[in-house]
Amino acid sequence: MATVPKVDVGTDYKEKYGFFVPEEYVFKAKRGLNPDIVKEISWMKQEPEWMTKFRLRSLEIFRKKPMPRWGADLSVIDFENIFYYLKASDKQSKSWEDLPPDIKATYDRLGVPEAERKFLAGVSAQYESEVVYHSLQEELTKKGVIFTDTDSALRDHPDLFKEYFGTVIPPADNKFSALNSAVWSGGSFIYVPKGVRVDIPLQAYFRINAENMGQFERTLIICDEGSFVHYIEGCTAPIYTTDSLHSAVVEIIVKKNARCRYTTIQNWSTNVFNLVTKRAMAYADATMEWVDGNLGSQITMKYPSVYLMEPGAKGDVLSVAFAGKGQHQDAGGKMIHVAPNTTSTITSKSISKAGGRTSYRGHIKMYPDAKNSKSFVKCDALLLDDESRSDTYPYNDVDAENVTLGHEATVSKVSDEQLFYLMSRGITRNEAETMIVNGFIEPFTKELPLEYAVELNRLIQLEMEGSVG
């Protein structure tokens, strides 16, 4: 079993829910980014030539694109001081027993085996850059559902993979999608065949666990006509002394009459830069739902989007952000209405505390063909003290006839009346505020599976402890 080495693991994170397992790598790439490293990654993974070329082309794009000048301050990221690929063990483990003991220790702390016992469909745990443990219930396989890590998908389902990979988010979309396209590793690949409903949520746990370590996972989900799937990603990470970069790309295709829900609980340690591009294409009468919770990280910039491509498509974003000391959560959503009779809603709830900053940044775009479409955006912000900050930047562009678009936002503090009521019942101020915050985000928690809702409430409680009142 792992022993906890003497490493400066930050302050409060460790006591709350952080832990540390020593590094043990089979292969460790050099720091920095250049065509040789990209080729090496591709060679290590024994990828087909088209993927190597795709990576190299993406690297070119990454180099040409300027850093975004809006949103959070990203100037401190040193791209040359990052490991772009790490592999924790030689081969993938087929069962829990085969996992290396230190990795097992990590998941023991996270409760992964328990999660599996609770009839969860599959556990796909990303330790460092590659999926090392993956189990899939036979039931799913029988239905024809593919649920695997992205590297294996490229190997085992090359045609399906090539048809969709990079079609929703091309490398040139933005600087960080280009970076991800150049050095991606791991992530989940899901294919749900026509008419198949996956009743239990598919889950993956992601972890970052090396100093200066980049995580560039790549997820691709294809919901064929009339299918349904709910995918959940959750992150916790031990804290380290220097900054880490997490830059994922998530592409989702929801075909006619299908429905996909993608739930995230992001709780990176507060030194991580979390710069993620998430986008879905929804076709005729399809539904795409993003349920997105951002609690951790130093800086998050993430705007899950839905492109409503055909009539009747529906997009939903439900987003919660919590920014504590030193954190900036720049999150929101984008709805791009391309076809007529499409509908979308974005609900954003944000909480800022102890000098934290939350920003809602959203974009609603109605193209000329998006006749008779509707969109509604609602943002509520709660500021827990006078050091904290909340911003709202909604961009609404309407180019189509007969469309309805609404945006509403409120910013407020915890109401004195509510506090007084609770405290007059003998509840301490801190407990009362925690209750109010939990109530505030309830529309979000009630959309989560029970164990996640419990975990989220617990996380909020930990975030609220001590420093308020």
- Least Å distance, CB 245 to another protein, is 25
Tokens of 53: 């070329």
What is the enclosing helix (H) or strand (E) of 167?
none
Size of the site for another protein (CB under 8 A): 34
Residue-level length of the chain: 469
Whichever of 381 and 432 has its CB closer to another protein, that residue is 381
Q: Verify binding: residue 223, another protein, rule CB under 8 A.
A: no
Task: Looking at 296-440, list the stretches that DSSP marks H as alpha helix, in order from N- to C-terminal side.
Answer: 416-424, 429-440
- Please report how close the Cβ of residue 350 comes to another protein at its closest, in angstroms: 11
* Complex with another protein: residue 56 or 172, whichever CB lies closer: 172
- The residue within the footprint of another protein, chosen from 163, 408, 442, 465 (CB under 8 A), is 408
Please, which residue, 188 or 390, has the CB nearer to another protein? 390
Show the site string, 345-374: x = touches another protein by CB under 8 A, - = not: -------x---------------x------
Residue 381 engages another protein in binding (rule: CB under 8 A): yes
- Is 70 or 119 the residue whose CB approaches another protein more closely? 70
Near another protein by CB under 8 A: residue from 137, 407, 427, 449: 407
Q: Does 320 bind another protein (CB under 8 A)?
A: no
Q: What is the 3-state secondary structure (H, E, C) of 106-144?
A: HHHHHCHHHHHHCCCCEEEEEECCEEEEEEECHHHHHHC
What is the C-alpha to C-alpha distance for residues 214 and 85, in angstroms, rounded to an integer?
A: 7
The three-class DSSP label of residue 390 is strand
CB of 375 within 8 A of CB of 333?
Answer: no
Could you say whether residue 226 binds another protein (CB under 8 A)? no
336 contacts another protein (rule: CB under 8 A): no
b/e string for 103-134 if b means 16 or more Cβ within 10 A? bbbbbeebebeebbeeebbbbbbbbbbbbbbb
- Considering the complex, what minimum distance in angstroms separates the CB of residue 174 from another protein? 15
Q: Does 68 bind another protein (CB under 8 A)?
A: no
Q: Which residues, 6 or more positions from 124, have their beta carbon under 8 angstroms from its beta carbon? A: 131, 133, 134, 147, 148, 149, 188, 202, 203, 204, 205
Contact window for another protein (CB under 8 A) among 295-303, 310-318, 406-414, 443-451: 406-414
* Count of beta carbons in the 10 Å neighbourhood of residue 158: 13
User: Is 141 a binder of another protein (CB under 8 A)?
Assistant: no
Tell how strand 404-413 and strand 214-215 pair up.
unpaired
Closest CA to 254 of 291, 307, 203, 201: 307
> Does 74 sit near another protein (CB under 8 A)?
no
Strand positions, DSSP E, 40-104: 86-87
432 sits near another protein (criterion: CB under 8 A): no
Tell me whether residue 39 or residue 389 sits nearer to another protein (CB atom): 389
Site residues for another protein, 384-403, by CB under 8 A, read 384-399, 401-403
Give phi and psi for 468, each to the nearest 5. -105, 145
* Summary count for the chain: helices (H), strands (E): 13, 24
CB of 435 to another protein, least distance (A): 18
Q: Is 467 in the site for another protein (CB under 8 A)?
A: no
Contact (Cβ atoms closer than 8 angstroms) between residue 297 and residue 274: yes
Among 412, 421, 442, 469, binds another protein (CB under 8 A): 412
Token pair of 149 as six digits? 């890590």
Q: Which of 153, 308 has the CB closer to another protein?
A: 308
The least CB distance from residue 225 to another protein, in Å, is 32
Residues lying near another protein in the complex (CB under 8 A) are found at 70, 352, 368, 381, 383-399, 401-413
